[in-house]
Amino acid sequence: MRAGDGQRILGEEERIDWLRLIRSDHVGPRTFRALLDHCGSAGAALEALPELARRGGAARRMRICPRDAALREYDAARLLGVSYVALGEPDYPPRLATIDDAPPLLAVRGTMAALGAPAVAIVGSRNASAAGIRIAERLARDLGAVGFAVVSGLARGIDAAAHRASLATGTVAALAGGPDRIYPPDNADLLDAILRRGAAISEMPLGWEPRARDFPRRNRLISGLSLGVVVVEAAHRSGSLITVRFALEQGREVFAVPGSPLDPRCEGSNHLIKQGATMVTEAADVVATLQPILGRPIVARSGGDRLEEAPAGTAPRAEATPPTDTRARMLTLLGPTPISLDDLTRLSGQALSTVHTLLLELELAGRLIRHRGGMVSLAAADDQA
Amino acid sequence: MRAGDGQRILGEEERIDWLRLIRSDHVGPRTFRALLDHCGSAGAALEALPELARRGGAARRMRICPRDAALREYDAARLLGVSYVALGEPDYPPRLATIDDAPPLLAVRGTMAALGAPAVAIVGSRNASAAGIRIAERLARDLGAVGFAVVSGLARGIDAAAHRASLATGTVAALAGGPDRIYPPDNADLLDAILRRGAAISEMPLGWEPRARDFPRRNRLISGLSLGVVVVEAAHRSGSLITVRFALEQGREVFAVPGSPLDPRCEGSNHLIKQGATMVTEAADVVATLQPILGRPIVARSGGDRLEEAPAGTAPRAEATPPTDTRARMLTLLGPTPISLDDLTRLSGQALSTVHTLLLELELAGRLIRHRGGMVSLAAADDQA
């Protein structure tokens, strides 16, 4: 599962195990990686889950996705033309594979090849001005003409304009809901047009209606797929700025189109330029910045210490069960204030691998919250699912 | 006449001599300085002019402004409420005094005190958009509120808006024509309002109708008076960008207000931001940059090597007449391609003071062109006035 090698292809049975594991309670992209490292395979992880969660002090039995539910999703998806691409497989979008919380399985609709092209995201206001729409179209068309795929979020306004203007050259929509749940519904026709030469991706289960909190989470995929994010018209606290935050964390370039200081729709984008984002008035500005990056090979970023600790093919380490008093000590060290793994390891006096195992157990028990930058905290009692 | 000391006040007779000298043929601000250095006073320079021009090879007798013409201008100006302030006098605007080609005499109307305040220029399109006008007003009002005088060029559009919004706090108009020749004429009422708490300055003779080429020349006064220049809406090749070029040469800060890439009126200003101008959406952006500069004492920039060579009060050096063969050699070295004073001195093997004298003679004969950065070239035969 090492990001960037992209040479391994999962067997059918293994893919179902991956789907079951990522659809189980308390298993997000990071926990998924930790489980694979800890147990050696998704199948082994599924078997180990109940015991790990029990040791972590789960309040009740954790829900593991049943094999038949995963099979049902898998078959229904296939009928819809959805493929599941696993992290580490050759078809997995190479840039996306480099982010810390890359989805282990990506539901893909449309043209797989569109995910391999170098990509630029164009995002912005839903209630965009006519000028903003025209700029988004012009940038998307011109970036498409020089070979970039255009990534966006299928929202109204800027997103839709960017997709529309790059239909002929290839555009990628990152969805907040399941691959069959299109939001807003009136962009369903646009999605159909996108799929002809482009693609749509989703990490959510088939049939999943997107909730408000799924949109920010989805935004990390928009930036993660891309070399850079261009913001066209963004108000002060807008979703586009969340995408920018992800882009910065992921080491992506940030671009912004300037606008009148009198237009509140440009406050966010103007502010970005003041903060150092590259100002864009034409596609050439984006190309000039990205050209040098395009030459560089794509390499996985640090990817979390787990990946570094456990080379591919390492034997499962489930036998390294920490003693109960170590577990109690860990709980004492943890609290509602996020603390770094380094501090936790130092203060606990335990090996890093032991700390990882204990945290994994707590996570599966729904008692641990992982924060950006490798920080963790204990979930409040009422946070527990 | 050393810029920055500002303690000397000219006698009435001396002021008339200054006016005569600057109103004579081939005497611009730089030649004026050179003549004062060479001859010791304006009166001595007026006497030396014919001989210097003859030695430089003037095709015909140079026109020296007669004393009665200067007196007529002086008296007529006084009736209009115009004062002539000389470079080096306490009332001369301190920032303007630091530029290489500061006008030796400045015709001032209105409130002299307005020229002493720290100033910011606001310039931009004549055919500005409503949004541009509103931004100019907002910036001028807010900069005025924190104590800056607002400098502009009394043009339609952005200039007029900037003056109007800072009438109450103090605003300065730099005119391209004589102090009594208001362009455009429909801004005459605005000028009257400006003079109540602000001022208008001009370096041109009373009654001088501004020609097209007087506007770029005037723009160096706009930037020269100011700590920084804010550009609001400027097309690609606009007068505002000339002001910016002067500002950069004079070491002033350059600010620009962003706008939509679709608006050609914002092309110039957006381009400036790409080139490194500070982006401005509110007055605070300007204040944040200028605050640290305000604390620093105002010092004259290099001011040309002449000033450094000849301390104030040095005896006239007109006796140092270079021999004729040296003069011929200098003419051989000079051509239509600009060459630096350093190179000329080195190649001629003459003392710098001799080179200065020879160049001054050629200049007064209308045979020398001075370029930026201390470069000089020989005027083509048909360039001679």
Q: Does the pLDDT value for residue B6 go beyond 60?
A: no
Can you give the pLDDT at residue A333? 83
- How far apart (Å, rounded) are the C-alpha atoms in residues B272 and B234? 10
Q: Which whole number is the average pLDDT over B285-289?
A: 96
Q: Do B279 and A258 touch (CB under 8 A)?
A: yes
| Beta bridge pairs of residue B230 | B122, B255
Q: Do A279 and B274 touch (CB under 8 A)?
A: yes
Q: Does the pLDDT value for residue B280 go beyond 50?
A: yes
Q: Do A257 and B262 touch (CB under 8 A)?
A: no
Name the residue facing A134 among B262, B282, B285 (closest C-beta).
B262
Name the residue facing B281 among A131, A270, A281 (closest C-beta).
A270
Using an 8 Å CB-CB cutoff, list chain A residues near B258. Answer: 258-261, 266, 270, 273, 279
Chain A interface, mutation test: which of B232, B262, B280, B282, most A Cβ atoms within 10 Å?
Answer: B262
What percent of chain B lies above the pLDDT cut of 90?
A: 66
What chain A residue is nearest to B276 in terms of C-alpha separation? A279
List, for residues A32-54, the tens digit of each pLDDT value. Answer: 999 999 999 999 999 999 999 88
Q: pLDDT higher for A142 or B60?
A: A142
The Cα of A199 is separated from the nearest Cα of chain B by a number of Å equal to 30
Q: Which whole number is the average pLDDT over B161-188?
A: 97
Q: Give the DSSP H or E segment for B202.
A: strand B199-202
List, for residues B316-359, the tens digit of each pLDDT value. Answer: 444 457 777 888 888 888 888 888 888 888 888 888 888 888 88
What chain B residue is nearest to A283 in terms of C-alpha separation? B261
Mean pLDDT, chain A, integer: 88
List, for residues A198-236, the tens digit of each pLDDT value. Answer: 999 999 999 999 999 999 999 999 999 999 999 999 988
Using an 8 Å CB-CB cutoff, list chain B residues near A285. Answer: 274
The Cα of A208 is separated from the nearest Cα of chain B by a number of Å equal to 39
The Cα of B198 is separated from the nearest Cα of chain A by a number of Å equal to 28
Question: Distance between alpha carbon A69 and the CA centroid of its chain, in Å?
Answer: 23
Chain B interface, mutation test: which of A134, A138, A262, A266, most B Cβ atoms within 10 Å?
Answer: A262
Mean pLDDT, chain B, integer: 88
Name the residue facing A258 among B131, B135, B258 (closest C-beta).
B258
Q: Which whole number is the average pLDDT over A358-369?
A: 86
Q: Do B274 and A285 touch (CB under 8 A)?
A: yes
Can you give the pLDDT at residue A383? 44
Using an 8 Å CB-CB cutoff, list chain B residues near A258. Answer: 258-261, 266, 270, 273, 279
Can you give the pLDDT at residue B355? 87
Using an 8 Å CB-CB cutoff, list chain A residues near B136. Answer: none
What chain A residue is nearest to B267 in terms of C-alpha separation? A281
Can you give the pLDDT at residue B294? 81
Using an 8 Å CB-CB cutoff, list chain A residues near B259. Answer: 258-260
Inter-CA distances, B156 with B52, B188, B317, Å? 44, 11, 48
Can you give the pLDDT at residue B347? 82
Chain B interface, mutation test: which of A137, A231, A260, most B Cβ atoms within 10 Å?
Answer: A260
Measured in degrees and rounded to the nearest 5, phi and psi for residue B365 equal: -80, 0
Number of residues assigned to chain B: 385
List, for residues A294-343, the tens digit of each pLDDT value. Answer: 876 655 443 333 323 333 333 344 445 677 788 888 888 888 888 888 88
The Cα of B89 is separated from the nearest Cα of chain A by a number of Å equal to 41
For chain A, which residues lie within 8 Å of any Cβ of chain B, measuring from their own Cβ? 131, 134-135, 257-263, 266-267, 270, 273-274, 279-282, 285
Weakest mean pLDDT among A247-261, B133-147, B285-299? B285-299
Can you give the pLDDT at residue B287? 95
Can you give the pLDDT at residue B381? 61
- How far apart (Å, rounded) are the C-alpha atoms in residues A219 and A240? 8
The Cα of A262 is separated from the nearest Cα of chain B by a number of Å equal to 7
Q: What is the DSSP string of A248-282?
A: HHTT-EEEE----TT-GGGHHHHHHHHTTPEE-SS
The Cα of A192 is separated from the nearest Cα of chain B by a number of Å equal to 30
Can you give the pLDDT at residue A315? 39
Q: Does the pLDDT value for residue B306 go beyond 80?
A: no
- How far apart (Å, rounded) are the C-alpha atoms in residues A104 and B299? 64
Using an 8 Å CB-CB cutoff, list chain A residues near B261. Answer: 135, 257-258, 280-282
Using an 8 Å CB-CB cutoff, list chain B residues near A282. Answer: 261
The Cα of B164 is separated from the nearest Cα of chain A by a number of Å equal to 19
Count of CA atoms in the C-beta half-sphere (13 A) of B296: 10
Q: Does the pLDDT value for residue A6 go beyond 80?
A: no
Q: Do A135 and B260 touch (CB under 8 A)?
A: yes
Would you put residue B64 in left (φ > 0), alpha (ψ -120 to 50) or beta?
Answer: beta
Q: Which whole number is the average pLDDT over A131-154?
A: 96
Q: Which whole number is the average pLDDT over B30-46?
A: 94
At CA A55, angle to CA A49 and CA A56, rounded to 5? 85
Highest mean pLDDT among A117-126, B319-328, B362-371: A117-126
Inter-CA distances, A33 with A38, A222, A345, A360, B102, Å? 8, 21, 20, 10, 70
Name the residue facing A261 among B135, B263, B274 (closest C-beta).
B135
Q: Do B270 and A257 touch (CB under 8 A)?
A: no
Using an 8 Å CB-CB cutoff, list chain A residues near B257. Answer: 261
Can you give the pLDDT at residue A320? 56
The Cα of B258 is separated from the nearest Cα of chain A by a number of Å equal to 6
The Cα of B274 is separated from the nearest Cα of chain A by a number of Å equal to 6
The Cα of A150 is separated from the nearest Cα of chain B by a number of Å equal to 20
Using an 8 Å CB-CB cutoff, list chain A residues near B260. Answer: 131, 135, 258-260
What chain A residue is nearest to B271 in terms of C-alpha separation? A281
Q: Which whole number is the average pLDDT over B210-235?
A: 96
Of B47, B120, B45, B159, the closest CA to residue B294 belongs to: B120
Q: Which whole number is the average pLDDT over A121-138?
A: 93
Weakest mean pLDDT among A81-90, A208-217, B259-268, B351-360? B351-360
Using an 8 Å CB-CB cutoff, list chain A residues near B280. Answer: 261
Can you give the pLDDT at residue A287? 95
Using an 8 Å CB-CB cutoff, list chain A residues near B139. Answer: none
Can you give the pLDDT at residue A3? 44
Read off the tokens for A62: 């954790």
- How far apart (Å, rounded) are the C-alpha atoms in residues A77 and A300? 29
Can you give the pLDDT at residue B367? 86
Q: Which whole number is the average pLDDT over B213-237?
A: 95
Instruction: Give just the sign of the alpha carbon dihedral B294, B164, B187, B128.
Output: positive
Q: How confident is the model at residue A168 (pLDDT cuts 50, 70, 90)?
A: very high
Q: Which whole number is the average pLDDT over B368-372?
A: 82
Weakest mean pLDDT among A140-154, B38-52, B343-357? B343-357
Q: Give the DSSP H or E segment for A161.
A: helix A158-165
Q: Do B257 and A262 touch (CB under 8 A)?
A: no
The Cα of A267 is separated from the nearest Cα of chain B by a number of Å equal to 9
Q: Do B134 and A273 touch (CB under 8 A)?
A: no
Q: Does the pLDDT value for residue A385 go beyond 50?
A: no
Q: Which whole number is the average pLDDT over A250-273?
A: 94
Q: Which whole number is the average pLDDT over B189-214?
A: 97
Say whether A41 sits in a helix, a strand or coil. Answer: coil
Can you give the pLDDT at residue A235? 85
Using an 8 Å CB-CB cutoff, list chain B residues near A267. Answer: 281
B249 in Cβ contact with B216 (< 8 Å) = no
Q: Which whole number is the average pLDDT over B111-117?
A: 94
| Beta bridge pairs of residue A375 | A340, A371
Name the residue facing B260 among A260, A274, A279 (closest C-beta).
A260
Can you give the pLDDT at residue A299? 52
